[in-house]
Amino acid sequence: MFRACVLRSVENMIEARELTKRYGGRTAVDALSFTVRPGLVTGFLGPNGAGKSTTMRLVLGLDTPTAGSVTVAGRRYDELDAPLREVGALLDARAVHPGRTVRRHLLGLARSHAIPARRVDEVLGAVGLETAADRRAKGLSLGMAQRLGVAAALIGDPGVLILDEPVNGLDTEGIRWMRTLLKSLAAEGRTVFLSSHLMSELELTADRVVVIGRGRLLAETDMRDFIDANSPDSTLLRVPDDESGRMRALLESRGAGVRPDAGGGWRVTGPTATVIGELAREHGLAVHELTPCRSSLEDIYTAMTGEAVEYRGSTDTDDKEVPR
């Protein structure tokens, strides 16, 4: 359904260089440099207020940098010949005329860029809104509005997609759908850049990650490397209650970090699960559970940003640790 973008993929980089935006005395984006490459999903991670939306607005020419630059395919957004065909964006899913139907909204966008009307049906199919084509925007759930926003972003079949918190308002099935869609768009050679404060979502979706806090770059790396480099290994250990104190003392005498786990048992850092198991055997202690765990992206991010974090919305209820 989508045109193959692989050949033009080298053109589709987003490059920010010392990008800075100040509003009065407040610096929203602070000398930010990063590159977003085609063929990958790149997550843009940061707490609320970190400067993600401002950065995206600067990429899309909706705001002017105080200093520095950001380009798409080597040009500023306002220098692009046919922006909608080159960069698709979803910033605010509710920014649609409430009385307009789904189809009319998309048709209007298509007409404004000389895009054939049949493309409307293609994108409606791509986002699963065929049966809602005649519904008015004001009657859409937030999840449906997000799908409409993605359809609008795709209408010009662009090589670059910029999506601000696209899973907001989606249910579990919708989140899974979005993840699959974004990955397939990247696999076609497109540049997919999406922001989120939902760490667990990016962990599953993104190949690369650009992490910011208070407008500054904290990390720009492969998602896997980011997690591996930053996550202290830990092991969930459960032992019989009456041996628990002995086990803890033994581990601490070997320099291990031991703290109670929220779900019961001990969370041990330092020795590997194998070493813990051997130690227990040497001392004749029973082990009921020994599970190696890796910190989640959320743990790592929280550790990195420390008190810089302004967020912690009610949606941040993701699992703390995931089994390896």
Residues at the interface with ligand ADP (CB under 6 A): 23, 26, 28, 46, 48-54
Residue 95 sits at the vertex; the CA angle it makes with 90 and 100, to the nearest 5 degrees, is 115
Identity of the residue, 52 or 105, whose beta carbon is nearer to ligand ADP in the bound complex: 52
Identity of the residue, 63 or 243, whose beta carbon is nearer to ligand ADP in the bound complex: 63
Identity of the residue, 50 or 236, whose beta carbon is nearer to ligand ADP in the bound complex: 50
Least distance (Å) between residue 38 CB and ligand ADP? 24
Least distance (Å) between residue 23 CB and ligand ADP? 3
Range list of β-strands (E), 24-139: 26-36, 41-45, 67-72, 87-90
Identity of the residue, 54 or 200, whose beta carbon is nearer to ligand ADP in the bound complex: 54
For the beta sheet containing 191-196, the strands, ordered from the edge strand earlier in sequence to the opposite edge, are 87-90, 160-164, 191-196, 41-45, 208-213, 216-222
Identity of the residue, 32 or 250, whose beta carbon is nearer to ligand ADP in the bound complex: 32
CB neighbours (10 Å) of residue 189?
A: 20
Contacts of 228 (CB under 8 A, 6+ apart): none
By DSSP bridging, strand 191-196 and strand 289-295 are unpaired
CA distance 219 to 290: 32
DSSP 3-state of 284: coil
Least distance (Å) between residue 192 CB and ligand ADP? 18
CB neighbours (10 Å) of residue 78?
A: 9
Identity of the residue, 26 or 118, whose beta carbon is nearer to ligand ADP in the bound complex: 26
* CA-wise closest residue to 312 among 43, 27, 29, 49: 49
Least distance (Å) between residue 44 CB and ligand ADP? 9
Identity of the residue, 24 or 323, whose beta carbon is nearer to ligand ADP in the bound complex: 24
By DSSP bridging, strand 26-36 and strand 14-23 are antiparallel
Identity of the residue, 190 or 214, whose beta carbon is nearer to ligand ADP in the bound complex: 214
Identity of the residue, 44 or 266, whose beta carbon is nearer to ligand ADP in the bound complex: 44
CB 193 within 8 A of CB 163: yes
CB neighbours (10 Å) of residue 1?
A: 10
Tokens of 277: 């198991």
CA distance 164 to 150: 11
CA distance 176 to 205: 9
Least distance (Å) between residue 116 CB and ligand ADP? 34
Least distance (Å) between residue 218 CB and ligand ADP? 13
Least distance (Å) between residue 197 CB and ligand ADP? 7
Least distance (Å) between residue 300 CB and ligand ADP? 18
Least distance (Å) between residue 295 CB and ligand ADP? 22
